[in-house]
Amino acid sequence: MASIRRRGDRWQARVIRKGFEPEAKTFTSKQDAEKWARAIEREMDTGGYVSRSLAEATTLGEVLSRYRQEVTPLKRGAEVEAIRLTAMERHRIAKRSLATLTASTVAEYRDERLLSVSGATVLRELQILSAVLNHARREWCFPIANVVADIRRPSPSRGRSRTLDVDEENKLLAHLGSGGRGEDGTYVKGTRNPWVSSVVQLALETAMRRGELLALRWEHIDLTKRTAFLPMTKNGQSRTVPLSTTAVAVLTALPHSIDGSVFPITANALKLSFVRACVSSGIANLHFHDLRHCATSRLAERLPNVIELAMVTGHSDLKMLARYYHAKPEALALKLA
C-alpha cells in the first residue's frame, strides 16, 4: 500500500514494493498523489512498470550536452554537429525534462524554427535530436521514446543549382586576397586569412568537399604524380584525387605548416572569410558547397566518361552526380551542331 503524507503545503506519495526501487513524487493535492500512487502500483502488478525518475530528473539540455561531449567527437562531422547541438541547448525546449518531452513539443520547436531557417536546416536538426534520443534510450538506459519519430518532418529542399561564372570567380578571388596596402599606397580590401584564396582555388579545380580540403595533409600530397590521397571521405571510403596543373601550382605556392596540415584553418574561419568575401564582392546567394557544383560541371566538360568523373568527385551514386552537373544549354547546342 502506498503511503501519502503531507510535506508543508504539498503532498508526497511513496510506493515501496518488493523487487522494485522505491518511488516517490510530490503533488499539490492529495487526490493527485493518490491517483499517481494507484497508477504506479497497477503498473507494478501488471508487469508494465518502468521507473520514470531518471527521465523526470534529467533535462533535454543535459542529454544534449552529454551527447555533444561524449558521442559527437567520434564523428567525422563533429565540428558542425557540435555547433548545432550547442544552439539547441540554448533553446527553451532544452529546459524540458525527458519525461515531459512530447511529440507536440517537438512539433512546436519545428514550426518555430521554420519561421527563421530553411526546411533543410530544420530537417538536419531533427535528425540530430532523433539520434540523441535513440542513443539516450539504448546506451544510457533512459526510459523514453523517440518522440521525433511521431512528427512530420520538413520536406528536403530542392537541390541547389548555383554555380560561379568567370566574372564572379575573378571578383571573389580578388576579394580573397590578403588585403593591406597596394603598390600605390591605397588600401586593398580583402580577407585577413591567407589560406582561404587557395582553398577556394583548389575547390574549383578538384571538386573536393570543404571537409576533405581542410583534412588534407602534406604526407598525402604527391606533386610528382599529381595526386592527393583522401584516407576518409563523406561516404566512408578513401579516394585519390588527380590534380590539374592549376591545382599543382596552388599547392606548390603554399608554405608548409608545422603540424602537417595543408590548410591549418577551421571550418568556421573558412566560412566567415568566404561569406565576407561574397558580400564585399557583391556576389549573392553563393555557398561554399556551390563550388563543388561548379567544379563538377567544369570537370564534366573534360571528362565525358561519367565513371571517370565520379572517381574524381567521389560520388558513389550517379543520380547524385547528376545533381552536381549543371550543363549550359548553349554548350549542349554547340555539341549537337
Q: Report the catalytic residues.
A: 209, 234, 315, 325
Residues counted in the chain? 337
Which grid cell is 96?
524540458
CA angle 210–215–217, rounded 5-degree value:
135
* Rounded Cα–Cα distance for residues 22 and 164 (Å): 65
Q: Is 8 left (phi over 0), alpha (psi -120 to 50) or beta?
A: left
Which grid cell is 83?
555547433
Which grid cell is 118?
530553411
Nearest C-alpha neighbor of 324 from the set 303, 294, 279: 294
* Rounded Cα–Cα distance for residues 159 and 317 (Å): 15
* Rounded Cα–Cα distance for residues 99 and 58 (Å): 8
Torsion sign, CA atoms 176, 177, 180, 182: negative
Torsion sign, CA atoms 141, 144, 146, 148: negative
